[in-house]
Chain A
Amino acid sequence: MYVAVKGGEQAISRSLELLAEARRGDPSVPELSLEQIREQLRLGVARVMQEGSLYDEELAALAMRQAAGDMLEAIFLLRAYRTTLPHFGYTRPLDTNAMRVRRRVSGTFKDIPGGQVLGPTYDYTQRLLEFGNVASEPSTQSDAPMPDVMPRVLDLLDAEALIERADAGSDPEPVDLTREPMMFPADRATRLQNLARGDEGFLLGMAYSTQRGYAESHPFAGEIRMGEVDVVICPEELGFAIEIGSITLTECQMINQFHGGHGLAPQFTRGYGLSMGEGERKAMSMALVDRTLRCDELGEPSVAPAQNQEFVLSHSDSVEASGFVQHLKLPHYVDFQAELSLLRTLSKQHAQQHPGEEACAAETSS
């Protein structure tokens, strides 16, 4: 006897209970506080803010806890919450030149004005698991105070006209991708916005592919800097700029070889990446992909996946990708039934045309 698949409502509410239990784990273990997540999982918090397009450490920590550490789920939670927030306006462009730098490295010059500053980095940790408690050692920072403003490495090249200007090519007013749909072909400002929200893993893979021969772009890490930048808005009713706080950013400027052509002189070109918090891997990947996506503008042959803007930009978003891949677990009975009928018809035809062979559909008709 056929029993209709009833009781979806009850099943969902029971599933939510099970989820709450599973998320909390053993109740004898204290629950993580948002402060703990903010303070001790700050790189995770940075990623959730970056790809969630919302700079709020508290909310990002809340999302991470609610998502039981699933970063993509946490990003999704933050994005959905973001939809409900009122929109007051846009900030002035952030001035990363005036960043209060905590880390700054260049792969292109041994020494640079302002110096190389390692700052807090995993780069030289040797990746040995540290068993036992993580002891917080007192910081032994150098006594020399950091210079207030560090000139950008790329500006040094700019002075010699060896590199294209930062505003090379067209620099239209950016559209807001959280409010307007992506349209193709997309200009660079729009592409960068998409990459900024893009999944770190996807961008990393795309960037990696450009280093392995799929659109070789000969990059050098001109400068990577991380630190605090002031956020300034200019409310219409006030008519003057006010500083509303500062946020941590990681900026990466890649320098790429360019032999000229297409009416352009040989010079270095730029790839740009920017990420909220300490997001160096993301910023570097973004800079490589940004430069690669400029192939049309620079007259480079477009042959590799990372050069194809529709390919890259349409598939970079983890919330879109995760939703659509996983929607396959929703019922598709109706379409599957339609395909089943079609396949049976085709099988019957095939059997009539090839009478010697065994008809595979014969036993399935009731």
Chain B
Amino acid sequence: MTSDYNFAFLDENTKRMLRRALLKAVALPGYQVPFGSREMPLPYGWGTGGIQLTAALLGPDDVLKVIDQGADDTTNAVNIRRFFARVTGVATTERTREASVIQTRHRIPETPLREDQILVFQVPEPEPLRTLEPREAETRTLHALADYGLMHVKLYEDIAQYGHIATSYDYPVLVDGRFLTSPSPIPKFDNPKLDRSPALMLFGAGREKRLYAIPPYTHVESLAFDDHPFEIQRWEQQCQLCGSGDSYLDEVVTDDRGSRLFVCSDTDYCGQRRAERAA
């Protein structure tokens, strides 16, 4: 750990500001709390929101896991883990079960989370209505009025045009029956894991300067219609490394003649299963 910087890079006043904003977020599930996002030594869009939340949460006894695309060994996950090892000296792990704080980009681990764990999401665009309404002043008003007609019309138009809802990731959810919320660009496969999760889920958008939370055991509903219920992705294949039939699969191109291999995107989950089978 380097002593040129304060523990976890940010000064204590900034961490206090972040914690206060987080408390507000927990008190208003799904509400986007504006916060004084700082410039971090990693680029905007690469997890600065998540990094700031993790920095505000970490204590010396925490065990940190960082994943990107479900994997611990993708370069950006490695880089963020290196960063925290450097500026906090906390223990890091690749095991979901061992971690007290997990920072993630684009996935929720397959291993069920517990009450004593916090999942921190990196969020590129916190506003679920943004692609439908670019003006921030307007979308804030729509949230205040809980006016989510725009999104329902969008989903309806999908059905009218394609026969089903054509959103496969960053699938909008309604948190605690009140705020329309972006689950971050996780595949909709992961949406059910948000509902009544025992773990606290925190979301940080550094560039957009917003954070929000889904407190433990909060009802999270993926938007759908009575005659077009919410569905998640399914594969005909199983993971070709661990044989899992119920995890999210990455498709790996193995040659230039159309051969494909399907493997778990969650590398820890896959590794644990293989270790168990070998034992």
Which of the candidate stretches B73-81, B95-103, B147-155, B215-223 sits at the interface with the other chain?
A: B73-81
Q: Any chain B CB within 8 A of the CB of A131?
A: no
A323 contacts B68, C-beta separation under 8 Å: no
| A86-B11, A363-B258 known; A183-B74 Cβ under 8 A | no
Interface 9-mer from A22-30, A216-224, A331-339: A331-339
Interface-central residue, B11, B34, B44, B258, by most chain A CB under 10 Å:
B44
| Residues of chain B contacted by A320 (CB below 8 angstroms) | 44, 207
Q: Is A184 engaged at the interface, CB distance under 8 Å to the other chain?
A: yes
Residue B192 is within 8 A (CB to CB) of chain A in the complex = no
Nearest Cβ on chain A to B126's Cβ, whole angstroms? 11
Of the candidates A325, A332, A340, A349, the one whose C-beta lies within 8 Å of that of B162 is A349
Chain A positions 172-200 with a Cβ under 8 Å from a chain B Cβ: 178-185
A184-B250 in contact given A327-B45, A334-B107, A349-B163 (Cβ < 8 Å): no
Inter-subunit contact B10/A83 (CB<8 Å): yes
Known contacts A335-B185, A363-B258: A80-B40 contact under CB 8 Å:
yes
| A324 & B45 in contact (Cβ 8 Å cutoff) | yes
Do A334 and B45 touch (CB < 8 A)? no
Tell me if B124 is interfacial: C-beta within 8 Å of chain A: yes
Chain A residues with CB below 8 A from B115, complex form: none
In residues 198-239 of chain B, which contact A (Cβ within 8 Å)?
207, 209-210, 233, 237
Kindly identify which residue among A183, A326, A341 contacts B45, using a CB–CB cutoff of 8 Å.
A326
The answer on a CB contact under 8 Å between B136 and A337 is no
| A residues with CB within 8 A of B | 2, 4-9, 11-12, 76, 79-80, 82-84, 86-87, 178-185, 310, 314, 319-320, 322-327, 330-335, 337-342, 345-346, 349, 363-364, 366
Among residues of B, the one whose C-beta sits closest to the C-beta of A1 is: B254
Given A334-B250, A334-B265, A337-B187: A84 touches B137 (CB 8 Å cut-off): no
Residue in B11, B73, B209, B259 whose beta carbon sits within 8 Å of that of A7 in the complex: B73
Contact (A84, B9) CB under 8 Å given A333-B265, A342-B168: yes
**Cβ of A6: which chain B residues have Cβ within 8 Å of it?**
73
Contact across chains for B162 and A180 when beta carbons are under 8 A apart = no
Q: Which of B54-87 contact A (CB under 8 A)?
A: 68-71, 73-79, 82
Contact B73 A8 (CB under 8 A): yes
Cα separation A320 to B106 with both chains bound (whole Å): 20
Nearest 3 A/B pairs, CB to CB: A323-B44, A327-B45, A323-B43
- The reply on B252 being an interface residue by CB < 8 A is yes
Scoring B residues 1 to 25 as 1 if CB is less than 8 Å from chain A, else 0, what string do you get?
0000110011101100000000000
Contact indicator per residue, chain B 100-142, by CB within 8 Å of chain A (1) or not (0): 0000011100000000000000001000000000111100000
Q: A342 touching B82 by the CB < 8 A rule?
A: no
Provide the bound-state CA to CA distance between A314 and B208, in Å.
9
Q: State whether A364 touches B69 (Cβ < 8 A).
A: no
CB distance from A300 to the nearest CB of B (A): 19
Decide if A332 touches B209 in the complex (CB within 8 Å).
Answer: no
Give the complex CA separation of A334 and B252 in angstroms. 11
Contacts of B41 in A (CB 8 A): 80, 83
Chain A residues whose CB sits within 8 angstroms of the CB of B237 once the complex forms: 366
| Residue from A5, A180, A332, A339 in contact with B106 in the complex, judged by beta carbons closer than 8 Å | A332
Whole-angstrom CA separation of A182 from B73 in the bound complex? 35
Instruction: With A79-B39, A341-B233 as known contacts, state yes or no: A331 contacts B76, CB within 8 Å.
Output: yes
Asked whether B254 lies within 8 Å of A2 as measured between CB atoms, the reply is: yes
The one of A7, A182, A184, A366 in contact with B260, judged by C-beta atoms closer than 8 angstroms, is A366
**Contact of A5 with B73 at beta-carbon distance under 8 Å, contacts A326-B45, A327-B45, A335-B185 already known:** yes
- Whether B44 contacts A331 by the Cβ 8 Å rule is no
Residue of B nearest to A87 (CB): B13
Chain A neighbourhood of B77, CB < 8 A: 8
Give Cα distance in the complex from A192 to B39, angstroms: 19
A327 touches B168 (CB 8 A): no
Bound complex: CA A353 to CA B164 (Å) = 15
A sample of 18 inter-chain contacts (CB < 8 A) reads A2-B240, A2-B241, A5-B71, A5-B74, A9-B82, A11-B75, A12-B79, A80-B39, A83-B41, A184-B136, A319-B44, A323-B46, A327-B43, A331-B76, A334-B186, A338-B233, A339-B168, A340-B251
A338-B230 Cα distance, complex, nearest whole Å: 15
Q: Which residues of A contact B197 (CB under 8 A)?
A: none
Pick the contact of B187: A7, A80, A178, A335 (CB < 8 A).
A335
